[in-house]
Structure 1
Amino acid sequence: MSELINNRQEQLKAIIKEIHKGMPLDEAKALFKKHFESVTTEEITSMEQSLIEEGMPLEEVQSLCDVHAAVFDGSISDIHTTKDQTQIEGHPAKVFIDENSKIMELIEKEINPYLNKLDKSSHLMIRIGVERLLEIDKHYKRKENLFFPGLEKRGITSIPKVMWGVDDEIRKMLKGVKANLDSIDNDLESAHRVLDQALTKVIDMITKENNILIPMLLDKLSLYDWILADEGSDEVGYFLDAPKASWTTKENHKEEKQDEIINGEIPFDAGTLTNIEVNAILNTVPVDMTFVDKDGNVKYFTQGKERIFDRPHTVLGRHVNMCHPPQSVHIVEEIVESFKSGEKEHEDFWIQMGPMFVHIRYYAVRDKEGSFLGTLEVSQNIKPIRDLEGEKRLLAK
């Protein structure tokens, strides 16, 4: 049986390699139909992953991924068996597919009727349509940051890499079109030509998302993966409009999340860490932090390399009023009282200390219900930040 499976994959790879050598799409489709009645999403994934592992450049796979999708279109056998969750209102998979329908509708109704028309009214409509289409960035970000991690945990990396690369190409093209259209010296013919190319890529990506990615996600992702995707969706955002219905599974399966917590690690709102990792992280950030509990006692301070104020261990457990000169105690008390009453959430000071320009901010620390837990003092020498000019986008040599 394994020999048959391997032979199928080799045949698939052979067809794709011929496409990369220049075989016309119609010939590739005919060759595919000659050897296969159907193909599974897992076979497609394994085939692309194997091509990359054999040395085919990621960029080359990426550049022809839409051609791959066109060859397999309508022949993916396991699509119908994995679509149940796409019928659940508010489920991330259904939201994603519904967004693809909205993207197609926008292209067909708001852009295509005006494409390649260079009059003023058409120019305006194209600009509005492109600006709305740029919201596709949120659609892609949810895919890249909420869906792909679940696949990568299971060793599926080729399709995420290839898709992400094409997503970035689409973003760049659409932003370029928008900049061209907004320019006083715009080149409408060039803008429409690039937009036409970008729309082709968008539509091809919709085909691959609906026919390959979503079935694969439904097959591979656990309930917990979908809960995480659902919880992160509001923060990333949606294409044009948020879904009207909510998927309530996450409320009913909080215990599912507990199964993912690693024994011996401290659970946080996002992830778990060992106490050694927490201590190292807090000592790595280039700020001094001191925490005073709700009763006014110093409970913790960082021990980073870039110290601004001395904090001997003898201050631990000491009341904060005893850590300041008598003439400034009233200021400390006022700050803490304003935090306890809810009047303020932070208070800022900045002072010149020799060559350093120090920013000091006091934060009210509260639990999820809003109850006051204490005060966090954060101090940082911001002179190097104030001195920054221009931009840095590349690594220094």
Structure 2
Amino acid sequence: MSEMINNREYRQKVLKELIRELHNGKSVDEVKPKFEELIKGISVSEIAEMEQALIMEGMPVEEVQRLCDVHAAVFKGSIEEIHRQKNPEEVPGHPVHSFKLENVEIKKLVENEIKPQLERYKNGDTTVSLKDLEGAFKKLWEIDKHYSRKENLLFPYLEKYGITAPPKVMWGVDDEIREGIKEVNKILLSNDENKGMLLEKAEETLNKVVEMIFKEEKILFPMALETLTEDEWVEISRASNEIGYCLITPGGEWKPARADVAEKIQKEGIQPSENKGYVEFDAGCLTPEEINAMLNTLPIDITFVDKDGAVKYFTQGKERIFARPKTIIGRQVQNCHPPASVHIVEKIVEDLKSGKKDHEDFWIKMGEKYVYIRYFAVRNEKGEYLGVMEVTQDIGPIQKISGEKRLLSDD
């Protein structure tokens, strides 16, 4: 059985069966054991990929959405933890930290204020004011800001990495919650009080709110933290203020830790050349302007990471293969990659730094480009490690070369 469970095609087949069983009326408790066995030992991302594949095959989002309640019932303790060396989501101001703070306040509002009032109202307590309930549900409508930031800031980045199924499913549930709050408010505002309808719609909506908190914190946020880069979290953080927050004020502006390269250079005792602005090399000397222009003219991308792991420099040629904002200068190289690939970066640096390897090469297809990526250990004449140089080039045009060219081109 375990061999079959490790087979992705088998998992896809079982997922389809589970969705079909739910569609045909089986309860969450009835399908839960099979789902629990299916996902044993796999990550959140793989489950998301499986659901994504079902949608790509043509299964309606609404059908995949039936799994949401099964997720919530099973995920506690059934998915292996994703271990990260750092927990940026614990830093005040980080988007996930703000999302979680909001969830705490949302849950307080639901569990400590709204549900107790509804329970007393249900039991015929005449001291319960519908005006108070109306005010509480108006306060709950603040959740729209929480969902809007999630949908308009976080989801687009996930979709960039091909993760579209979970956002679609979750957005659908968000809209159901919004609609539920609107309907409750409409009943509360109407003169024709319908106690049964009010209680039914309110309880249904509040349960979805609480379930969504669980799904976000156990599924969505871990998946996003595993996937997004630090720069992408910075962009989400900057754009969040435009939409606003739900029931909280964020705990300050989140800024990722990064080295001040200019200050670092001074501390290392490196001073600008006093030779009339020239920089002396083993063979000749050049001005900084000449050096910068030469490096940016090369038909390759070069990035240099110093011995402490800080990004210190990258070229800015006309045709870039990988876009790099200047904000990466001074950052630790691990933070420039999605967490899911950090272990590869760390292994490369470790092998080059230790002397186990002098270089490591990769080649990948990127659309029409055939990209050759090389990592070199940079050492001084004494053999001391100075850092890593990454050289990236589109070798597709080079591979197409044949014969000889001895004449000048006309243009």
TM range (shorter): 0.5 to 0.7
2:112 counterpart residue number: 109
Letter of the structure 1 residue corresponding to residue 93 of structure 2: G
Please give the TM-score of this superposition, normalised by the length of structure 2.
Answer: 0.57
Q: For 2:185 and 2:86, how far apart are their aligned partners in 1?
A: 36
Contact 1:83 1:218 in 2 (8 A): no
Q: For 2:83 and 2:28, how far apart are their aligned partners in 1?
A: 25
Q: For 1:82 and 1:107, how far apart are their aligned partners in 2?
A: 34
Letter of the structure 2 residue corresponding to residue 166 of structure 1: V
Instruction: Report the Cα offset of residue 206 of structure 1.
Output: 1.0
Structure 2: unaligned runs, 5 residues or longer: 261-310, 321-411
Contact 1:62 1:162 in 2 (8 A): yes
Q: Deviations over 1:235-280 (max 9, x none)?
A: 1111112213221239989xx9x99x99689xxxxxxxxxxxxxxx
Divergent runs of 4+, >4 A? 79-83, 250-253, 261-265
2:349 counterpart residue number: none
Contact 2:141 2:178 in 1 (8 A): yes
1:53 counterpart residue number: 56
Instruction: Report the Cα offset of residue 124 of structure 1.
Output: 2.7
1:96 counterpart residue number: 99
Letter of the structure 2 residue corresponding to residue 14 of structure 1: E
Instruction: Report the Cα offset of residue 67 of structure 1.
Output: 3.1
Letter of the structure 2 residue corresponding to residue 195 of structure 1: A
2:227 counterpart residue number: 220
Q: For 2:213 and 2:147, how far apart are their aligned partners in 1?
A: 11
Q: Deviations over 1:15-55 (max 9, x none)?
A: 34433333332232222344553331112211211221222
Counterpart of 1:172 (choices 175, 179, 186) is 179
Letter of the structure 2 residue corresponding to residue 191 of structure 1: L
Alignment partner of 2:250: what SS?
coil
> Percent of aligned positions with the same letter in both sequences?
44
Matches within 5 A, 1:305-316: none
Q: Deviations over 1:277-312 (max 9, x none)?
A: xxxxxxxxxxxxxxxxxxxxxxxxxxxxxxxxxxxx
Counterpart of 1:78 (choices 72, 76, 81) is 81
**How many residues are treated as equivalent by the alignment?**
264
Contact 2:19 2:64 in 1 (8 A): no
Alignment partner of 2:51: what SS?
helix
1:32 counterpart residue number: 35
Alignment partner of 1:249: what SS?
coil
Determine if the alignment matches structure 1 residue 41 to structure 2 residue 30: no
Contact 2:120 2:128 in 1 (8 A): no
2:189 counterpart residue number: 182
Structure 1 residues 124 and 63: alpha-carbon distance in aligned structure 2, compared to 1, 3 A threshold: farther
Structure 1 residues 220 and 66: alpha-carbon distance in aligned structure 2, compared to 1, 3 A threshold: same
1:290 counterpart residue number: none
1:241 counterpart residue number: 248
Q: For 2:106 and 2:20, how far apart are their aligned partners in 1?
A: 32
Instruction: Report the Cα offset of residue 11 of structure 1.
Output: 3.5
Structure 1 residues 70 and 262: alpha-carbon distance in aligned structure 2, compared to 1, 3 A threshold: farther
Letter of the structure 2 residue corresponding to residue 75 of structure 1: S
Q: For 1:106 and 1:262, how far apart are their aligned partners in 2?
A: 54
Letter of the structure 2 residue corresponding to residue 128 of structure 1: G
Q: For 1:211 and 1:246, how far apart are their aligned partners in 2?
A: 25
Determine if the alignment matches structure 1 residue 129 to structure 2 residue 136: yes
Q: Kindly report the root-mean-square deviation, in angstroms, between the aligned alpha carbons of the 2 structures.
A: 3.3
Q: Deviations over 1:56-103 (max 9, x none)?
A: 211222354233332334312135558812211211111112211211
Q: Deviations over 1:151-186 (max 9, x none)?
A: 111111111111111111111110111122122233
Question: Which stretch shifts more, 118-127 or 147-156?
Answer: 118-127
Structure 1 residues 81 and 5: alpha-carbon distance in aligned structure 2, compared to 1, 3 A threshold: farther
Alignment partner of 2:25: what SS?
coil
2:7 counterpart residue number: 4
Counterpart of 1:210 (choices 217, 230, 236) is 217
Q: For 2:182 and 2:58, how far apart are their aligned partners in 1?
A: 32
Instruction: Report the Cα offset of residue 12 of structure 1.
Output: 4.0
Letter of the structure 2 residue corresponding to residue 147 of structure 1: L
